[in-house]
Structure 1
Amino acid sequence: MEDFMSMLLPMLEGAKMTVLLFLIAIVLSIPLGFLLTLAVRSSFKPLSWFAQAYIYVMRGTPLLLQLLIICFGLPMIPVIGEYLVLDRFVAACLGFVLNYAAYFAEIFRGGLLAIDKGQYEAAQVLGLNKFQTTTRIILPQMFRIALPSVANESVTLVKDTALLYAVAVPELLHYAQTVVNRDFTIVPFLVAAVLYLIITLVLTAFFKWLERRFKFE
């Protein structure tokens, strides 16, 4: 029992880092993704083109590569590189936020496209201005439509936190690997799998609750 606890306690510390990164990434990437969606739909073409190019690049290249560039590539830039040296955890958070914002932007764009144009016409008939139409009619429907996809992407985000291991940020998988190397046993990997499953189970239950709430509102 004592051996098991000596293995479990550091892994729980790693799980805290995993959850912390997830919370930071999800809280920042969702609103940034929505802003990107608005930018893509903007009538100001340069802004729209920039947002589309950004989404294409971030979705078209591996998250691991983006993390490596932010952590190790930016400091190598001539002249300004010394000012771009970031704490590894901060750099990882930045990479996750920038990457997942692109995915959430596409999810929200799909949610907006799924709304019938008659909703806009009905809002005009009711005398609602553009702001009222957006906040009272369009956004609630968009969020309801996008919620299952947001939930799925959030679960993927939890699993992707394992990439912190590649940029030397001690998270759950890092501690599991450390114990495996120390004790020559596969048990830490199994414990890590259980911890990931617990985190995703809680997250899935939360989104199921949100879906039920928005379904009946």
Structure 2
Amino acid sequence: MTVSVSKDDGGGRPETIRAVPVRHPGRWAGALVVLVLAAMFVHFLLTNKALNWPEQGKFLFSSAVLHGLWNTIWLTLAAMVGGVTLGVILALMRMSPNPLMSGASWVYLWFFRGTPLYTQLLIWGAIGALLPTISIGIPFGPEFHTWQTQKLINAALAAALGLILNEAAYMAEIVRAGILSVDEGQQEAASALGMSRMQTMRRIVLPQAMRVIVPPTGNETISMLKNTSLVAAVPYAELTWTSQTIYAETYQVIPMLVMACLWYLFLSSLMMIGQFYLERYFGRGTSRSRAGRSRLRTLGMLRLGGGG
């Protein structure tokens, strides 16, 4: 906004100030470009015959698609619950003063973060060739019972294990970052009060670390929802695999893939809403403390300006 000041007329009256809004032609041009692109995209969606919206509507709520959708949902939940649980254990092992514990955790993270998830799922799909049997017994000694691996680990279990073990490696680093964000003085104070290391972690450190842990965990959950499409390597009938089986019969490739994208977008949107409320819940103390510090700084400047 520009300000223009009129000259004094000599009568002792104050000068008149006229505020003139600053023109922003670049903003209007950018907004116009966005509107044109949006209109072009809507026109594309409505007129492109390859999308075949009636075909999508025919299968959108079909039993096969809903079954694949349910498999996608439960795989996401199982992978995140198992990944978070194992990730916490790995994070505590990584921070352990015991070199064997920390070393074992580092090797786990090194392997599962250093190899592609799709490749890991392929191995789980062929786990019977790697381990024909699974036995219970004394290590390097007699075996009490033996199972055929391919019968014990079906496609659903193989898909879930592959996702859980991979996700745990990433969650371990997220949890470790959250733990390291908590001031060490609080751990020392808890130790001085006689609390054990596990009590300190459970009651003092982890509740505060949640402010740092929740946002990336929400992102990991949304990513996991999409990563479930990779379990076709096992193979397992989740949403993408189901869409592929449908268009293999109908030859409507694009409509079925777009239909799957719509379901993924719907579920991702629900997760984003849940993530927003979780972040707001765990960040309440931080927001109040920031507001409090801002008010204190304002009061301090007022007192300094007022001479006391």
Matching residue within 75, 78, 83 for 2:148? 83
Where does structure 1 differ by over 4 angstroms across 4 or more consecutive aligned residues? 1-6
Structure 2 residue aligned with 1:212: 280
Superposed displacement of residue 144, structure 1:
1.4
- Where 1:115 maps in the other structure, the secondary structure is coil
Superposed displacement of residue 116, structure 1:
2.1
Distance in 2, matches of 1:123 and 1:42, equals 17
Distance in 1, matches of 2:154 and 2:199, equals 42
Tell me the matched-pair count: 215
Superposed displacement of residue 180, structure 1:
2.2
With structure 2 as the length reference, what TM-score do the two structures score?
Answer: 0.65
- Where 2:182 maps in the other structure, the secondary structure is coil
Distance in 1, matches of 2:194 and 2:175, equals 23
Corresponding letter in the other structure for 1:83: Q
Unaligned stretches of 5+ in structure 2? 1-52, 135-146, 286-308
Unaligned stretches of 5+ in structure 1? none
Distance in 2, matches of 1:46 and 1:33, equals 17
Distance in 2, matches of 1:167 and 1:78, equals 16
1:25 aligns with 2:79: yes
Matching residue within 74, 85, 91 for 1:37? 91
1:120 aligns with 2:187: yes
Structure 2 residue aligned with 1:163: 230
Distance 1:89 1:149, change over 3 A: same
Structure 1 residue aligned with 2:195: 129
Superposed displacement of residue 13, structure 1:
1.8
- Where 1:42 maps in the other structure, the secondary structure is coil
Corresponding letter in the other structure for 2:283: K
- Where 1:39 maps in the other structure, the secondary structure is helix
Structure 2 residue aligned with 1:145: 212
Distance in 2, matches of 1:121 and 1:47, equals 22
Rg comparison, structure with higher value: 2
Structure with more of its chain in strand, by fraction: 2
Could you tell which deviates more after superposition, 157-166 or 80-89? 80-89
Matching residue within 194, 198, 215 for 2:266? 198
Could you tell which deviates more after superposition, 25-34 or 131-140? 131-140
Structure 2 residue aligned with 1:60: 114
Superposed displacement of residue 47, structure 1:
1.7
Superposed displacement of residue 18, structure 1:
0.2
Superposed displacement of residue 155, structure 1:
0.8
Structure 1 residue aligned with 2:255: 187
1:107 aligns with 2:159: no
How far does the alpha carbon of each residue in 1:14-69 deviate from its partner, in whole angstroms, 9 at most, with x for none?
11110011111111110110001111112221121111100110010011111111
Distance in 2, matches of 1:140 and 1:206, equals 19
Structure 2 residue aligned with 1:178: 245
1:12 aligns with 2:66: yes
Matching residue within 94, 98, 104 for 2:165? 98
Distance in 2, matches of 1:15 and 1:161, equals 10
Superposed displacement of residue 119, structure 1:
2.5
Superposed displacement of residue 84, structure 1:
2.2
Distance in 2, matches of 1:47 and 1:132, equals 19
Higher relative contact order (Cα pairs below 8 Å, separated by 6+ residues): 1
Structure with more of its chain in helix, by fraction: 1
Corresponding letter in the other structure for 1:51: S
Distance in 2, matches of 1:79 and 1:181, equals 33
